């Protein structure tokens, strides 16, 4: 879902009431009262500074429901950051997202409220690693998941998100490529290759010499999301046993075994769309838990199985306190070298074109 731009900040009373209504049963009232005051100050400052706040679906519910002008997944928010006319972009998400916004808006001030909001995927691969793979598989196009730092994107041909990974891979397969390097999430790469019916190997682990040259194959990397890799088939079976009517959705950063055991695999946007439109009596999500909280708040008339216990420690670095501090002190500003911005822009633009 993409929210409306907040042209005139609501009064503190109106904001508190709105938060109480939407966060009923999810956040206790005393916490809402405190957070509403912080959110009110953020909204006033945002207006004064001509700032726009982008909120990723994994933000904690009180923040998610109060200060973002737009909410969504990486792809939606990247597209918005490419078009915004605000002077300051505050990315309530992790650091690589702020970098993507900076590449698309090099002249604007881009802030991420915490400089400790990393990502196991982004930290699991370097530009040097990509150069090594390009040397090992000459001619193979490099697709990198948006969950990478700009120096890695700068070495890539295409970027993608979980929302358009299959379209980007299909685009390259249609061009006749037999080897495609897809980095860094091993599970997303494997799940997407399977969806398209092509082979998959992990660089440095599997023997690529044994694969026939004419067999389309995706070459992945040995890194996974530290949150989604923890979901197991047993978790899925437990939900099925207890809630046989529930439709189970999992993010494609989960293992192929988990994806095989659920009903639907989809990006965070696909999950939002599903919950918005479903007639299923009940649903369960296998993804970061704040997303479940946010969907429960957004669609209170749909019944969600509240079984999740996995939160992303990086996303959880982003708080209302830090967002307010970030605006007041103009911290933490994303800065990137000009050559990296120039090189990283091309694969990001391609990602935004293939949607
Ligand atoms: S949920 Fe996983 S992919 Fe997303 S920011 Fe956290 S570690 Fe990275």
Task: Give the residue extent of every domain in the chain.
Answer: 12-119+315-329, 122-225, 228-298
Q: How far is CA 107 from CA 84, 86, 189, in A?
A: 12, 11, 33
Q: Which atom of ligand 1 is nearest to the CA of 288?
A: 1
Answer whether 314 contacts ligand 1 (Cβ < 6 A). Answer: yes
- List the one residue out of 50, 1, 99, 45 whose CA is nearest residue 345: 99
191 Cβ inside 6 Å of ligand 1: no
Tell whether ligand 1 has an atom less than 6 A from the beta carbon of residue 294. Answer: no
Length reported for the chain:
355
Count of other CB atoms within 10 angstroms of residue 273: 13
The answer as to CATH 3.40.50.10800 being correct for domain 12-119+315-329 is: yes
Ligand 1 probe mutation, 184, 223, 286, 312, most atoms within 8 A of CB: 312
What is the arithmetic mean of pLDDT over 31-54? 97
- Give the model's confidence band at 7: pLDDT under 50 very low, under 70 low, under 90 confident, else very high: low
Query: And the tokens for 123?
Result: 């930290």
Instruction: Compute CA distances 70 → 86, 204, 205, 276, whole Å.
Output: 13, 40, 41, 17
Given CATH 3.40.50.10800, say whether it is the number of domain 228-298: yes
Helix (H) or strand (E) holding 350: helix 338-353
Mutate to test the pocket of ligand 1, among 271, 315, 317 (most ligand atoms within 8 A of CB): 315
| pLDDT (mean) for 54-59 | 95
Q: Residue of the nearest CA to atom 6 in ligand 1?
A: 312
CA dihedral sign, ordered 5, 8, 9, 13: negative
pLDDT at residue 333 tops 80 = yes
* CATH no., domain 122-225: 3.40.50.10800
How confident is the model at residue 147, as a pLDDT?
97
> Are the folds of 12-119+315-329 and 122-225 the same?
yes
Is the pLDDT confidence value at 9 over 70? yes
pLDDT of 3 strictly over 60: no
pTM (2 d.p.): 0.94
Our mutation pick for probing the ligand 1 site, out of 147, 160, 252, counting the most ligand atoms within 8 A of Cβ, is: 147
Considering only CA atoms, which of 281, 296, 347, 288 is closest in space to residue 314?
288
Sheet with 158-160: strands ordered across:
158-160, 142-145, 179-183, 217-220, 199-202
């Amino acid at each position: 879902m993409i929210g409306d731009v907040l042209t005139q900040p609501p009064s503190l009373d109106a904001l508190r009431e709105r938060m109480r209504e939407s966060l009923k049963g999810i956040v206790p009232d005393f916490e809402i009262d405190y957070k509403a005051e912080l959110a009110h100050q953020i909204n006033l400052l945002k207006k004064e500074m001509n700032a726009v706040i982008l909120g990723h679906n994994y933000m904690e519910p009180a923040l998610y429901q109060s200060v973002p002008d737009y909410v969504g997944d990486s792809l939606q928010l990247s597209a918005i950051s490419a078009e915004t006319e605000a002077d300051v972009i505050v990315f309530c998400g992790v650091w690589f997202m702020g970098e993507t916004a900076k590449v698309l808006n090099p002249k604007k001030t881009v802030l991420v409220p915490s400089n400790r909001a990393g990502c196991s995927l982004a930290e699991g691969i370097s530009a040097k690693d990509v150069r090594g793979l390009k040397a090992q598989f000459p001619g193979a196009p490099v697709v990198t998941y948006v969950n990478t730092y700009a120096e890695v994107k700068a070495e890539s041909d295409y970027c993608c998100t979980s929302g358009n990974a299959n379209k980007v891979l299909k685009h390259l397969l249609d061009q006749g490529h037999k080897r495609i390097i897809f980095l860094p999430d091993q599970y997303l790469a494997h799940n997407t290759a399977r969806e398209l019916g092509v082979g998959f190997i992990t660089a440095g682990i599997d023997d690529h010499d044994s694969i026939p040259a004419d067999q389309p194959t995706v070459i992945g990397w040995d890194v996974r999301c530290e949150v989604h890799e923890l979901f197991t088939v047993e978790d899925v079976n437990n939900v099925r046993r207890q809630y046989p009517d529930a439709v189970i959705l999992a993010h494609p950063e989960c293992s192929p075994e988990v994806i095989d055991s659920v009903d639907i695999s989809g990006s965070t946007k696909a999950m939002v769309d599903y919950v918005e439109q479903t007639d299923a009596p009940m649903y369960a999500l296998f993804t970061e838990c704040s997303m479940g909280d946010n969907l429960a708040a957004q669609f209170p008339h749909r019944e969600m199985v509240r079984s999740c216990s996995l939160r992303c420690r990086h996303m959880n670095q982003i708080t209302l306190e830090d967002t307010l501090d970030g605006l007041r002190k103009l911290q933490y500003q994303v800065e990137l070298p000009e050559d990296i911005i120039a090189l990283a822009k091309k694969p990001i633009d391609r990602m935004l074109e293939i949607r």
